Amino acid sequence: MTIPLGEFDLIARYFTRPARRAFLGVGDDCALLPAPAAGEQLAISSDMLVEGRHFLPDADPEALGHKALAVNLSDLAAVGAQPLAFTLALALPQAEARWLEGFARGMWALADAHDIELVGGDTTRGPRNLCITVLGTVPQGRALLRSAAQAGDDLWVSGTLGDARLALGYRLGEWSLDDVAQATSFARMDRPTPRVTLGLALRGVAHAAIDVSDGLLADLGHILQRSGVGATVHADACPASPALRTQSATRRRLCQLAGGDDYELLFTAPTSARDAVQAAATQAATAVTRIGRIETRPGLRLIDAEGQVLDNAYAGFDHFRPA
Ligand SMILES: [Mg+2]
């Protein structure tokens, strides 16, 4: 049902709550927030979800509300920042109450789970496009950077990899999945869990970090490039869900190495910090797995369980690469 909601009604009805930490929240020309405390830095990141590119027109609006915020929180997690607030820029073809209610419900649930407030944004009529900008804080000099990996570091990843790609392959008709595998893999694709608590716990423990959005090897490539190092990855050591463990080795590798949308943390830490990494994982109630090693020698080497070198044919996702 389409209802004749104006922009201001829409904002008032779905996206306005009393300001808390903000001096001034939604509804004025700007939001006003207290400046970070002395010795703290602001961490800022934007991520956009576009209909037809990142989600289908019939996607569940509640899951979209969750995911639009989750992918942004994941970027804060990747630098070890504490989430603070966010803005929302929304283009919609029409102000449809059912869609807006669902979207707002998914978004607020995740916002409340991380105790962050919506402080502003914009709405306009247009092809459906969801853009969130998150703000967080991190003590000066303690952010986890892509450029901080050092030769000799262990390479770690949180949670499990490849489920979102497993779900996508089913949706694209590349393979079939049983009901249980469908349910678990679609849950991972539609409602990713940003590893915020783990990112915070890894400050002062990990060297470099990134969140896995474009695919493990593509995102690892960013760390290697920025840090001026290479790596060996044990392809078969990548943590897999029960659904993925039942798939062929070829499909599992494709999903885990090249599949995007996992939103796990990929990070490096010195071997002397193994106990500290495990302690951080326990504190965050998030499993972590060692999958390789950072090396002086440039390039990315993939090996299997027997130590045989695998062809690195698993490029990650690049939005602007010709198909
Ligand atoms: Mg990222």
Q: What tens digit of pLDDT does each residue of 75-103 get? A: 999 999 999 999 999 999 988 889 999 99
One domain for residues 151 and 125? no
> Which whole number is the average pLDDT over 200-214?
97
Say if residue 255 is exposed, middle or buried (CB neighbours under 10 Å; 0-12, 13-18, 19+): buried
Check residues 307 and 195 and name the one with the higher pLDDT: 195
Residue 9 alpha carbon to ligand 1 centre in Å: 33
The answer to whether position 317 is within a domain reads: no
The answer to whether position 323 is within a domain reads: no
Residue 192 alpha carbon to ligand 1 centre in Å: 13
Residue 151 is predicted with a pLDDT of 98
The token duo for 106 is: 């998914």
Residue 201 alpha carbon to ligand 1 centre in Å: 18
Residue 12 is predicted with a pLDDT of 77
Residue 268 alpha carbon to ligand 1 centre in Å: 15
Residue 211 alpha carbon to ligand 1 centre in Å: 5
Kindly report the CATH number assigned to the domain that includes residue 180: 3.90.650.10
> Which whole number is the average pLDDT over 269-295?
98
One domain for residues 93 and 127? yes
One domain for residues 158 and 298? yes
On average, the pLDDT of the chain sits at 91
The answer to whether position 34 is within a domain reads: no
**Statement: residue 26 has pLDDT above 80:** no
Residue 22 — pLDDT band, cuts 50, 70, 90?
low
Residue 46 alpha carbon to ligand 1 centre in Å: 10
Residue 3 is predicted with a pLDDT of 47
One domain for residues 130 and 154? no
One domain for residues 150 and 132? no
The answer to whether position 166 is within a domain reads: yes
**Statement: residue 2 has pLDDT above 50:** no
Residue 103 alpha carbon to ligand 1 centre in Å: 22
The DSSP annotation for 244-270 comes to HHTS-HHHHHIIIII------EEEEE-
The token duo for 197 is: 């608590």
Beta strands in the chain (DSSP E): 40-50, 82-92, 117-125, 129-139, 154-158, 209-211, 230-234, 265-269, 288-295, 299-303, 309-310
Task: Say if residues 241 and 252 touch (Cβ distance below 8 Å).
Answer: no
One domain for residues 52 and 106? yes
**Statement: residue 13 has pLDDT above 50:** yes
Q: What Å distances lie between residue 264 and 146, 172, 288, CA to CA?
A: 15, 23, 10
How many domains does the chain fold into? 2
Residue 222 alpha carbon to ligand 1 centre in Å: 10
Residue 279 alpha carbon to ligand 1 centre in Å: 24
The token duo for 123 is: 């709405």
Strands 154-158 and 265-269: antiparallel
One domain for residues 208 and 275? yes
For the stretch 106-139, pLDDT in tens is 999 999 999 999 998 888 899 999 999 999 999 9
- Give the gyration radius of the chain's Cα atoms: 20
Residue 320 — pLDDT band, cuts 50, 70, 90?
very low
Residue 6 alpha carbon to ligand 1 centre in Å: 34
* Nearest in space to 154 (alpha carbons), one of 263, 234, 274: 274
The token duo for 79 is: 């630098």
97-116: buried (b, 16+ CB within 10 Å) or exposed (e) per residue? eebbebbbebbbebbeebeb
Residue 235 alpha carbon to ligand 1 centre in Å: 22
The H-or-E segment that residue 183 falls in is: helix 179-190
Residue 79 alpha carbon to ligand 1 centre in Å: 9
End-to-end CA distance of the chain, in Å?
A: 37
Q: Which range marks the domain in which residue 150 is found?
A: 146-306
One domain for residues 167 and 285? yes
The answer to whether position 318 is within a domain reads: no
Residue 106 alpha carbon to ligand 1 centre in Å: 21
**Statement: residue 4 has pLDDT above 70:** no
Residue 25 — pLDDT band, cuts 50, 70, 90?
low
| 201 vs 282: CA distance, rounded Å | 9
Q: What Å distances lie between residue 259 and 25, 75, 268, 287, CA to CA?
A: 38, 18, 20, 20
For the stretch 134-177, pLDDT in tens is 999 999 999 999 999 999 999 999 999 999 999 999 999 999 99
One domain for residues 125 and 221? no
Residue 75 alpha carbon to ligand 1 centre in Å: 5
Kindly report the CATH number assigned to the domain that includes residue 101: 3.30.1330.10
The answer to whether position 194 is within a domain reads: yes
Residues less than 5 Å from ion ligand 1, measured at CB = 75, 211
One domain for residues 70 and 212? no
